[in-house]
A and B are shown apart, each in its own frame.
Chain A
Amino acid sequence: MQIQRDVMTYDFVVVGAGPAGLAFAIRLKQLAPEKTVCILEKGSQVGAHILSGCVMDPIAMDRLLPDWRKHPPAICVPAAKDEFVLLTKTGRVRLPTPPQMHNRGNFIVSLGSLCAWLATQAEGLGVDVFPGFSAAVPLIEGGKVIGVRCGDMGLQKDGTPGPNFAAGADIHAGVTVLAEGCRGSVSKRLIKEFQLDRDCSPQTYGIGLKELWRVPAGRVQPGLIQHSIGWPLDTKTYGGSFLYHLDQDRVYVGFVAGLDYEDPEFKPFEAFQQFKNHPSVKALLEGGEIQAAGARTIVEGGIQSLPKLEMPGAILIGDAAGTLNVPKIKGVHLAMRSGMLAAKHLTESGTSAGFDARWRTSPCAKELRKVRNIRPGFRWGMWVGLVNAAIETATFGLLPWTLKNHADWSNLKKKGRIENHVDYVERTLPPRDRLASVYFAATSHDEHQPAHLKVSDTNICATKCAEEFDNPCTRFCPANVYEMVEDAGKKRLQINAANCVHCKACDIKDPYEIITWTTPEGGSGPNYQNL
């Protein structure tokens, strides 16, 4: 059947209404109001799929919208005090806060609310923002990206059009701006198609889990920023926690674990829940209630994993490329600045060519180059990592080497090869399990649509993977999407795609690279609020 598609033409199409894409569109309209630009956002509204810590360095906001402090977004608490601690199972040791992690002058924000706020600014400048429309695939013609095709709506389980079928439109644009964030599905295809990662290390990632709590009055100290390392992770696994104190007795609690972990039995969700039950954290949360929860992967590769940022007809900005500063635990300012630089470049030159070189000579690249060896040093464990970080910091990143990264999935050791280090406590705080947690993400997918998680060979699951890795997908997924179930005496993989919170961990960590995350029907997925 020939599907009739609407075609819409813009000067620029942006994929993803996150900080990078919105900053791009706003700056573009400031520089060249006559240019047309639209933003596609797969979430049901702007911010619905955005989850971040988030302590923001305001440098980019100050430059993009100098008046922003007069009408700040909904959640915006000035940073007051930093604490950096090492946790043991029952204890807590205060460490000096690393210089990159000082937050004077920064703000604790909800990145979702900030993006919703930015989207209003963008619309005011004449940007067409389309929430609920996903960019499903890139459109390539004659070796050049000419736009994107939006996902079809109303497909049935078998992939055929249902009674309410609406074909996704084709958006043609002079330049396509990929601002999908970490492990974007269109970006991934284009990085492969144009071999943009040919000369760099593989990208590496972490998985972040986060909850918003309202706790009994008097416990929260607005502006307090607490980070921890150590328990419940063993020293070989990279990661740590955050507690960001907001106003109105609210607190963000979260945990990030490097996806380069080796133990196939490791459960990031459980590590997070364990952290919450540490005596020092439990005292803060007990008696409170969860208001929202979710999970999202973050890029950790640094500048040595950054692909080429341009290809004919398209560019990568923000975490779709991987501009996050890991030691600083901040990416918003760099994502926005890459978007603003892209807007400047495209208004001046009108073409994607030259953007990569331009970014690499920018202050953002300098910021990343300086800290490039810190995260990879943790490959040898927490203690070596900390010493290496101190040396790298003291020498301003001037040491003549650059440590390489390895793909996260390749670090997974076969089952039984790892001594089990877990030293966990009995948990009492909610949520009980991942399903109870997904409830707080308010995720929804029409169950009639085809599963958007594609596993190319499910035979591997019950055989090779079960033997070698004990099906790690059933553990690394924070939303319990993957389950091995018994069917007539045989095990098979069951995909509960409707639970998916679009974190992309499966696309990254599956050891056989057989899971591909694709976009479901536009508007599906989590409905994060204030995260």
Chain B
Amino acid sequence: MKILVGMKRVVDFNVRIQVKKDGSGVELAGVKLGLNPFDEIALEEALRIREKGMQAEVIALSIGPADVQQQLRTALAMGADRAVLVETADAVQPLMAARILLEMAKRENADLVILGKQAIDDDCNQTGQMLAALWDRPQATFASAVELKDKTLKVTREVDAGLEVIEVDLPAVVTTDLRLNTPRFVKMPDIMKAKSKPLATVKLAELNVAAAPALEAVSYAAPVPRKGGHKVESVQALVKELHDRGVLS
């Protein structure tokens, strides 16, 4: 079987995000970029399926500028068999990403597409669902456990009320939640091996995908800093203060 894993490059989770001075976006100059942590979980799950003895090929796929190759090399070092970069300099919105993934899933004849439930930069949580709809295949989102049996996948989902267990037929789309697994550490010899693994680049223009920016970013702003609290002398003073601020009536 073929497992396609979406890997998005995002601003590293350790970075303190700073909004550009003119409010047009987030400062990216000199900022550390890395793989979206949920996508690392997705890749780890794909590798575990393969390591359980399934005849599986794991393909890491990313969309972005040419230097995203660096992050794809990391995916190869983790254990992906090969990688594909759909190259574009433009920002990619969820619907666009879903259309690209659909095209690539068809090209690769994928049996399973595993994606992070969301990317930590825009927190959209849409791409997986959109892909399933466009592809007209089942989706299993927020997965915290995955079990493969022949052509069906038993997935435990993290839902508001607790855990929900569903079964879906392959091909299907799975999006990963935090508890699904802990991604492995990359080993040094594997970094060296990754250098010679196949990494193909496809120009976005070569794909049969219609560009359709559906969302427009109006402005970016940092959250208003929280004002420091202060101590009051007595309960009466506290009640008065709450009244004055209109919290109590």
Q: Which of B51-75 contact A (CB under 8 A)?
A: none
Q: Which of A233-260 contact B (CB under 8 A)?
A: none
Determine how close the nearest CB of chain B comes to the CB of A431; give it in whole angstroms: 13
B14 at the interface (CB under 8 A from A): yes
A-B contacts besides A113-B30, A130-B188, 7 pairs, CB < 8 Å: A6-B187, A8-B189, A130-B191, A166-B184, A439-B16, A444-B14, A527-B12
Determine chain B's interface SS by DSSP, over half rule: loop
Q: How far, in whole Å, are A48 and B15 apart by their CA atoms in the complex?
A: 11
- Chain B residues contacting A163 (CB-CB under 8 Å) are 182
The reply to whether A128 and B192 form a contact with Cβ atoms under 8 Å apart is: yes
A139-163 CB contact bits vs B (8 Å, 1 = yes)?
Answer: 0000000000010011000000001
Q: How far, in whole Å, are A44 and B14 apart by their CA atoms in the complex?
A: 10
- Chain B residues contacting A529 (CB-CB under 8 Å) are 15, 30-32
Q: How far, in whole Å, are A527 and B13 apart by their CA atoms in the complex?
A: 10
- Chain B residues contacting A166 (CB-CB under 8 Å) are 184-185, 187
Q: How far, in whole Å, are A511 and B30 apart by their CA atoms in the complex?
A: 39
The reply to whether B18 and A442 form a contact with Cβ atoms under 8 Å apart is: no
Q: How far, in whole Å, are A439 and B185 apart by their CA atoms in the complex?
A: 25
The reply to whether B189 and A74 form a contact with Cβ atoms under 8 Å apart is: no
The reply to whether A74 and B30 form a contact with Cβ atoms under 8 Å apart is: yes
Interface residues on A, range: 20 to 34
- Chain B residues contacting A8 (CB-CB under 8 Å) are 188-189, 192
The reply to whether B18 and A291 form a contact with Cβ atoms under 8 Å apart is: yes
B29 at the interface (CB under 8 A from A): yes
- Given A440-B16, A444-B14, A529-B31, is A164 in contact with B182 using a C-beta cutoff of 8 Å? yes
- Chain A residues contacting B32 (CB-CB under 8 Å) are 44-45, 48, 527, 529
Give the total of B residues in contact with A, Cβ under 8 Å.
Answer: 19
- Chain A residues contacting B184 (CB-CB under 8 Å) are 164, 166
Q: How far, in whole Å, are A295 and B187 apart by their CA atoms in the complex?
A: 30
Q: Please, which residue of chain A has its CB at the minimum distance from the CB of B74?
A: A132
A133 at the interface (CB under 8 A from B): yes
Q: How far, in whole Å, are A166 and B78 apart by their CA atoms in the complex?
A: 12
Please tell me which one of the listed residues A169, A439, A527 contacts residue B188 in the complex, with CB atoms under 8 A apart.
Answer: A169
A471 at the interface (CB under 8 A from B): no
- Chain B residues contacting A44 (CB-CB under 8 Å) are 12, 14, 32
Determine how close the nearest CB of chain A comes to the CB of B187; give it in whole angstroms: 6
Q: How far, in whole Å, are A291 and B18 apart by their CA atoms in the complex?
A: 8
A-B pairs, top 7 by smallest CB distance, nearest first, are A166-B185, A153-B185, A527-B14, A169-B188, A442-B14, A6-B189, A530-B30
- Chain A residues contacting B31 (CB-CB under 8 Å) are 529
Q: How far, in whole Å, are A494 and B211 apart by their CA atoms in the complex?
A: 56
Determine how close the nearest CB of chain A comes to the CB of B76; give it in whole angstroms: 15
Residue among B14, B32, B184, B185 facing the most chain A CB atoms (10 A cut-off): B185
Q: How far, in whole Å, are A411 and B248 apart by their CA atoms in the complex?
A: 59
Determine how close the nearest CB of chain B comes to the CB of A503; give it in whole angstroms: 18
Jot down 30 A-B pairs with beta carbons below 8 A, ordered by A.
A6-B187, A6-B189, A8-B188, A8-B189, A8-B192, A44-B12, A44-B32, A45-B32, A48-B32, A74-B29, A74-B30, A75-B30, A128-B192, A132-B186, A133-B188, A153-B185, A154-B185, A163-B182, A164-B182, A164-B184, A164-B185, A166-B184, A166-B185, A292-B16, A439-B16, A440-B16, A527-B12, A527-B15, A529-B30, A529-B32
